[in-house]
Amino acid sequence: MKTIEVCLSPALYEFHSNTEEYIVVIVDVLRATTSFCAAFDSGVEIIIPVQGLDELLEYKNKGYYTAAEREGEKVDFADFGNSPSVFLKSSLIGKQLAYSTTNGTKAVELAKRNGNIAAAAFVNLQAMSHWLSVQQKNIVILCSGWKNTFCLEDSLCAGALVEALEMSGKFSPMCDAAVASFTLWQNSKTNLAEVVKEANHFQRLLKLGLHDDLRHSFRLNCSNAIPVWNGKGFVDNSERVKAFG
């Protein structure tokens, strides 16, 4: 039996107790990990998370496509913001994308110390939980949050992952945050659209008029993307899973 832990904020990552080999699953429902899935669904080859905008500009100058968001809004010089619905409408086959966001890329930076990283959201819940269930490794779900505070939508997605992984019969939750996330998800899954309206970051993005993104981000299992870290960036492992059967 493998274990599942949940870190409710990047600021709690250093305190998780997993010591054996594990996979860090980054969750940033609004919107980085949802956008990663959308970008892969539109054909992106690799997503390279970048913390600062200076570094992102260097990538742009080297010919990479760039995506960047600060405080929920697109950064001027970038080709894309952090919008899954915009990625879905774009054709990006074979493109390399450098990516910088307020919270998601910070979580990636932390997780890099560990070699095994994946990215999950509601949109790829089934694809990701299936992929995780065949990896035979402990799991630490890292909620990206908002500036190190707890985000309801990330915790709900973590809870949905805990549910799916428990149902595989191969995992059990090993911390209170995993139990609490599971409970929150159980309590919300039949009226998710209503519950997430209470979330601060949902309201923040609503004020920016991002209705399409908000609708898309809570649509379960509409993406087959399995974003997995390859040492340089995230690549889509979905074909490999199919090969595994």
Stretch that binds a second copy, among 15-23, 41-49, 106-114, 128-136 (CB under 8 A): 15-23
What crossing angle do the helices spanning 152-167 and 200-207 adopt, rounded to 10°?
120
> By C-beta, is 12 or 53 nearer to a second copy?
12
The answer to the question of residue 187 lying near a second copy (CB under 8 A) is yes
Distance between CA 163 and CA 171 in Å, rounded? Answer: 10
Identify the residue among 113, 147, 211, 240 touching a second copy (CB under 8 A): 147
CA atoms within 13 Å, Cβ hemisphere of 105: 20
The answer to the question of residue 158 lying near a second copy (CB under 8 A) is no
> By C-beta, is 96 or 155 nearer to a second copy?
155
DSSP secondary structure letter of residue 123? G
The answer to the question of residue 179 lying near a second copy (CB under 8 A) is yes
Identify the residue among 51, 148, 168, 172 touching a second copy (CB under 8 A): 148
The answer to the question of residue 24 lying near a second copy (CB under 8 A) is no
> By C-beta, is 120 or 178 nearer to a second copy?
178
Name 25's bridge partners.
Answer: 118, 141
DSSP secondary structure letter of residue 29? T
The answer to the question of residue 150 lying near a second copy (CB under 8 A) is yes
CB within 8 Å of 139: residues ≥ 6 apart: 2, 3, 4, 5, 22, 23, 25, 132, 165, 171
Identify the residue among 200, 208, 215, 221 touching a second copy (CB under 8 A): 200
Task: Give the 3-state secondary structure of residue 34.
Answer: helix
Nearest distance, CB of residue 210 and a second copy, angstroms: 18
Handedness of CA 117, 118, 120, 125 (dihedral sign): negative
> By C-beta, is 95 or 204 nearer to a second copy?
204
Nearest distance, CB of residue 96 and a second copy, angstroms: 34
Give 169-221 as a DSSP string: TSEEE-SHHHHHHHHHHHHHGGGHHHHHTTSHHHHHHHHTT-HHHHHHHT-TT
> By C-beta, is 14 or 54 nearer to a second copy?
14
What six digits make up the tokens of 5?
A: 């832990």
The answer to the question of residue 11 lying near a second copy (CB under 8 A) is yes
The answer to the question of residue 151 lying near a second copy (CB under 8 A) is yes
Identify the residue among 149, 172, 221, 230 touching a second copy (CB under 8 A): 149
Q: How many CB atoms lie within 10 A of CB 190?
A: 8
Stretch that binds a second copy, among 20-28, 29-37, 52-60, 149-157 (CB under 8 A): 149-157
The answer to the question of residue 155 lying near a second copy (CB under 8 A) is yes
Task: Find where tokens 């996330």 sit.
Answer: 181
Contacting positions for a second copy (CB under 8 A):
8-9, 11-12, 15-17, 147-152, 155, 175-177, 179-180, 183-184, 186-188, 198-201
